[in-house]
Structure 1
Amino acid sequence: MTFREDADQSIRLRLWRGVVLEDWLDYNGHMTEHRYLQVFGESSDALYERLGVDFRRAVEGAYFTLETHIRHCAEAKVGTELSSETEILGYDQKRLHIYHTLRDGSGKLLATGEHLAIHVANSSATLADEDKLERIRNIFDRQRISLPVPDSTGSVLKAQLQNHR
């Protein structure tokens, strides 16, 4: 069973941990494609919660994924321990560029997920509120100073965001 882990104060946000379950396997006995997207989606949701999104009141403001690019780097089998780390690569008042890595228990890179999301309220793209933007800015600034831009980025639309690494 998967669960979310509270984010610590490290530079890369550790927002999700879990294990490959039996029903996550494909016909070759490996973790199937759509489960990688599930893990990255749950990692994004954990980030959004950290940014102040209340999913019970999402109509008032939440993020919606516009584009996703997943790289499958290695296989995972049933029982493999998994953890994801999240970076904010860029943002503006409406959009958020996110990068996730998925690793096994030994630290081996299994996959990366790059996502472009838009802030939505009342079914329309809207500006994120200042509280969310401040939280994004704090994470982004800390990561921009300490982390290089991952080599594999750029497959997702490099939108003309006001702030980008």
Structure 2
Amino acid sequence: MSLPLFRETVRPEWIDYNGHMSEAYYVLVFGFATDALMERTGLDSAYRKRTGCSLYTVEAHVRYLRDVSEGAQLAVHTRVLGAAGKKARFTHEMYVVEGPRAEPDPVATTELLMLHVDQGAGRAVPFPPEVRERLTALAEEPPGWAGRSIEPVVTTPGAR
């Protein structure tokens, strides 16, 4: 089972004072892509209603690589990197796919650590075997940028 690309168009209300998509909307689009992944892998609203469980994002690392303009046609490629116990790890890569600013390289990426949470109990619980198997069947090698941390800034006394 391969994951389809999630597609979205940059809306006028997503544009900030610099004339580009505001950082919050990159995260919104990535959130929609996560929702699409959940639908595709059976973690949909019926699953949530039946089990009381859902995925919660507990860590995210977003890289904003290029400006995105109003009307840009976006596509998000999702990778499942693994699922075990009560944790899953995904990445999303956002591309501008149509128009004069279409680019072959991603305009933004995110890496996500998710927990499978029993909403009634308010705690993380292991994936049921069939869900874990669906996710692990999709597992791919991580892209080269995944797993990085934010570079520390070293302040030298007297530096400007």
TM range (shorter): 0.7 to 0.9
Q: State the one-letter code of the partner of 1:151.
A: G
RMSD: 1.7
Q: Does 1:23 align with 2:16?
A: no
Partners of 1:51 and 1:93 in 2: CA distance: 17
Aligned residue for 1:110? 107
What's 2:54 paired with? Answer: 62
For the Cα contact (< 8 Å) 1:100–1:112, is it kept in 2?
A: yes
SS in 2 for 1:118: strand
**Do 1:81 and 1:104's aligned partners in 2 also have CA atoms closer than 8 Å?**
yes
- Which ranges of 4 or more aligned residues in structure 1 deviate by more than 6 Å? none
Q: List alignment gaps of at least 5 residues for structure 1.
A: 1-8, 157-165
Where do 5+ consecutive residues of structure 2 fail to align?
Answer: 150-160
Under a length normalisation based on structure 1, what TM-score does the superposition of the two structures give?
A: 0.78
Of 103-112 and 18-27, more deviation after overlay is shown by 103-112
Match of 1:52 among 29, 42, 61: 42
Contact 1:95 1:116 in 2 (8 A): yes
Structure (1 or 2) with the larger CA radius of gyration: 2
Shift of 1:48: 1.2
Shift of 1:137: 1.5
Q: How many residues align?
A: 140
**TM-score for both structures, normalised by structure 2:** 0.80
Task: Report if the CA contact (8 A) 2:82-2:136 is conserved.
Answer: no
CA distance in 1, matches of 2:6, 2:148: 23
1:18 Cα deviation (Å)? 1.0
What SS does the aligned partner of 1:136 have? helix
**Structure 2 partner of 1:136:** 135
